[in-house]
Amino acid sequence: MINLLKIAILFLLLTSSEAFALNMGTVVKNDFSIITVNESAKFTVLFWNTENENYRVKLDVKEAPEKWIVIIDPNYFILNSSFGREYIKLPYKNDIVKAIPVDIIIKPSTTTPGKYNITVTAKSISPETGIDFSQERLFKFLVEVENPIYIENSLNESINQNRNQNLNLTNNLKHENVNLNYFYVVFIMIIILFSFLIYKYS
């Protein structure tokens, strides 16, 4: 009987409170970047809301290499359907909604080439009134740090290959020109020989 009474009270509390269904739309514009040691990587995530209610969104770094700098701009904002700097076309609704772009700028502190993972969480929280709902998304980004010496060597190899190709092309053209010159000389000598024979026996 006591358990039944508890269930009834809980049911009354649930039905008398206002609940909000969260619908946080997200899309990652890019999740992979190749940089050198002294460069920064930039990723962009778009957020939108198709509901009438506003809710808060907070972003945090969940995973990153030690001493790397990760800047999230903005890392806290209010998401609603009437505010945003970019537009998203929703295929399932055939609507265009406003989206808030969030830039994630990553500055490595390592000089060791390799691939590194960064994970960012975005948590949306319903308004203060009613039952508190939350929704969380994980965004994973991959940064590949290249060695500047390797890039320089690759560039030098590419330049040398182009130079060798140009030299080969030039040599081939010279060879073709020499062959054409021989042909012209032989042709002229044949004409002179025929002319001499015609003159002598005419």
Phi, psi of 139, deg, nearest 5: -120, 125
CATH for 2-146, among 2.60.40.10, 3.40.50.10680, 1.10.300.10, 3.30.43.10?
2.60.40.10
| Neighbouring C-beta atoms of residue 75, cutoff 10 Å | 16
> What pLDDT, in 10s, does the model give residues 120-149?
999 988 765 555 567 889 999 999 998 766
Rounding to the nearest 10 degrees, give the CA dihedral for residues 61, 64, 69, 70.
Answer: -30
> What pLDDT, in 10s, does the model give residues 44-97?
999 998 877 888 999 999 999 999 999 999 999 998 877 888 888 877 767 788
Q: What residue ranges do the domains of the chain occupy?
A: 2-146, 148-202
Alpha carbons 8 and 2: distance in angstroms, whole number: 10
pTM to 2 decimal places:
0.61
Torsion 159-160-162-163 (CA) sign: positive
